[in-house]
Amino acid sequence: MIRLLLILLVALLLGTGLSLGLAYDLGYIRISLGNYLVETNFWVGLGLFLLLVVLGVFLVNTSRRLRQGSGMLSGWFARSGERRARRRTTRGLLALAEGNWPRARKLLSSSAAHADTPLINYLAAAHAAFESGDYEAVDELLRKGFESTPGSNMAVGLTQAQLQLAGDRPEQALATLLRLRKESPHHPFVLKLLKNAYLRLEDWRELSRLIPELRKRNVLPETELNELERQVWHNLLEKAAEDCERKQRDNPEASLKTLTHLWDEMPGFVRRDEFTIRDYARLLARLGDEAQAETLLRKVLRHHWSDELINLYGRLQGTEPEEQLLIAEQWLKDRPNNAELLLALGRLSLRNELWGKAREYFETSLKLHRKRETLAELSRLNAHMGQEEASIKLMMQGLEADHGLPELPMPRA
């Protein structure tokens, strides 16, 4: 009420002042513009001036409101685009999970530009393109993903390496992983994928250099690492033996340094491994150095018994067959019921031309364990000793065991 009275009072005063001012002649206003001359009463000129001021203020305010309105409109459009991108991204990820690769790739790549996390869209779209077999599109989508997000080099590179390995392109994967390893030498997942790439390429030498780092960073379980190390050195031994065989074809007197140096290079854990020792001894024997293989197995069997190694020991010809037999018979004192040792003793007895002793060892071994290998040895010995009937009987038993023949009635002789 008071505010209304004040407004009326101000209006009354202004009206009174204006009526008093109009009663006086304050002159006129003349404006000359080139050949044009404008004259008007002072009060009229003042009114026109005030009108122009009001009009100018109105235009300025209107322009400001229009600019604000266009900003709000563009913001609304932007928010609307983000909402559409989120919806398309969700549908694309669902299509990816369902195995609908073309749809997934289309939805994810088309919505990437407006997505909250464009890198996720591009990486998922690259997976869809890979499953569709379009490898060129994979590389292009990964490039866009890298450009969309600063600091995404590792994520993009790891995805690329995984897809290259899955697509049977180990050479490209290796190049990608070596580049990533320069940036992050101890990254566990880079090391793991690098192991997979070397395995695919059968690069056993590089794998042997990588294993200590895998072990240090706990990239794989201990048991898996041990198995991998056995596999690596087994293949390196085979390659070294092949190299020695090539040299022996050119020069029968060529040494076995390539193989023996590799054995010396092996970690202690591997040289104590039963299967690696067996492989190395077999390769030595294959290359003609049975004496060195026999010496190695003799040392190992003194401290670590192995049925598989004693079987191999019985097959080897050492430099002194008599001493070899005596040593094996000493082991029999501690293992009188070991069928494998008895089989080996039978073979060593044959090397010393102790036919009756060999036959006794084979027969005792058969009583403990009816093994086809022992049957074959005893059958062969009986045949050479003139006991053809016993030899044929053992041979038939071996054949029956080999083929799993059923029990059936047979005619009597």
Question: What pLDDT sits at residue 35?
Answer: 66
Q: What per-residue confidence (pLDDT) applies to 17?
A: 57
pLDDT, one tens digit per residue, over 348-360 is: 999 999 999 999 9
Other Cβ atoms closer than 10 A to 210: 19
What pLDDT does residue 342 have? 97
Report if pTM > 0.75: no
The tens digit of pLDDT for each residue in 331-384 reads 999 999 999 999 999 999 999 999 999 999 999 999 999 888 888 888 888 887
Provide the pLDDT for residue 101: 92
DSSP one-letter code for 37: E
Question: Residue-wise over 93-118: b if at least 16 C-beta within 10 A, else e?
Answer: bebbeeebbebbbbbbbbbbebbeeb
Residue 76, pLDDT score: 43
**Residue listed under structure tokens 């009597």:** 412
Q: Which residue has the higher pLDDT, 381 or 279?
A: 279
The answer to whether residue 234 scores a pLDDT higher than 80 is: yes
* Mean of pLDDT over the chain: 84
Determine the Cα–Cα distance for residues 176 and 179; give it in Å rounded to an integer.
5
| pLDDT one-digit tens code per residue, 254-278 | 889 999 999 999 988 889 999 999 9
DSSP-assigned beta bridge partners for residue 30: 39
Terminal CA-CA length for the chain: 141
For the segment 46-72, what is each residue's pLDDT rounded down to a tens digit? Answer: 666 667 777 777 787 777 766 655 554
Which residues, 6 or more positions from 365, have their beta carbon under 8 angstroms from its beta carbon? 339, 340, 342, 343, 346, 371, 374
Q: What length is written for the chain?
A: 413
* Per-residue pLDDT tens digits for 69-117: 555 444 544 456 567 878 888 898 899 899 999 998 898 888 888 888 8
- Other C-beta atoms closer than 10 Å to the C-beta of 21 total 12
Query: Does an H or E element contain 28, and which?
Result: strand 28-33
Token output for 335:
């293992």
> Under a CB-based contact definition with an 8 Å cutoff, are residues 379 and 391 in contact?
yes
CB 108 within 8 A of CB 138: no
**What DSSP line would sit under 290-354, residue for residue?**
HHHHHHHHHHHHHHS--HHHHHHHHH---S-HHHHHHHHHHHHHH-TT-HHHHHHHHHHHHHTT-
pLDDT at 28 over 70: no
State whether the Cα torsion 327-331-333-336 is positive or negative.
negative
Structure tokens at 26: 């304050």
Residue 243 CA to residue 157 CA, distance in Å, equals 37
Tokens 């029990």 map to which residue? 407
Concatenating the DSSP letter of every residue in 269-284 gives: HHHT-HHHHHHHHHHH
Residue with more model confidence, 379 or 177: 177
The predicted-structure confidence for 131-168, as pLDDT tens digits, reads as follows 998 888 998 999 999 998 899 999 999 999 999 999 99
